[in-house]
Amino acid sequence: MLRIALKYGAIASGLVAVWCLGIVGLMWGGQGESVISSEWLGYLVMFVSLSTIFIAVREYRNVNRGGIIKFLPAFGMGLLIALVASLAYTLAWEVYLASTNYAFMDNYAASMIEAKRATGVTGPELDAYVAQLNQMREFYANPLFRLPITFSEIFPVGLIVALISAAILRNPKVLPARG
């Protein structure tokens, strides 16, 4: 079980890291889309990448469990893969931040302030928004704050995919082994 979880967790984390870091790189390189559309694309990529959970649970059921698996073992396998992928994603994000001299939050804040200005916000309202972003930048500089935030971006997606996969694949008639 652990071997399958590590294998598929590595595949999922590799896919999501490459795609999500590529999206961030394009976005902050000045060639990308708005922050909101890139977030949706990022979560879509996470969902597609974490769909390896379904494949892994199916393989585990058909190869290791004789074509039958109950909900809890299937869910446990999915959670393990989500955990591996989330930890690897968090590590990849930290490597990305270090390689860009931790410029992400500065670029993010500048982009958000510019977006507020573009909507016509000025004066005290803009000042309050800038102060809020500055506080967020200060928090984000602390790894004890940043690491759980990064982990929590991807893990809930894996949790949902694990639940769905376990619920579907506990039925041995769904995608049975060909033999």
Q: Is the pLDDT of residue 29 over 60?
A: no
3-class secondary structure per residue, the chain: CHHHHHHHHHHHHHHHHHHHHHHHHHHHCCCCCCHHHHHHHHHHHHHHHHCHHHHHHHHHHHHHCCCCCCHHHHHHHHHHHHHHHHHHHHHHHHHHHHHCCCCHHHHHHHHHHHHHHHCCCCHHHHHHHHHHHHHHHHHHCCHHHHHHHHHHHHHHHHHHHHHHHHHHHCCCCCCCCCC
pLDDT of residue 155: 96
pLDDT of residue 27: 54
Q: Is the pLDDT of residue 162 over 80?
A: yes
- 36-91: pLDDT as tens digits: 456 787 788 889 999 999 999 999 999 999 999 999 999 999 999 999 999 998 99
pLDDT of residue 18: 78
pLDDT of residue 107: 86
Share of the chain above pLDDT 90, in %: 64
- 81-107: pLDDT as tens digits: 999 999 998 998 898 889 889 988 898
- 140-155: pLDDT as tens digits: 999 999 999 999 999 9
Which of 15-19, 24-28, 79-83, 112-116 holds the top average pLDDT? 79-83
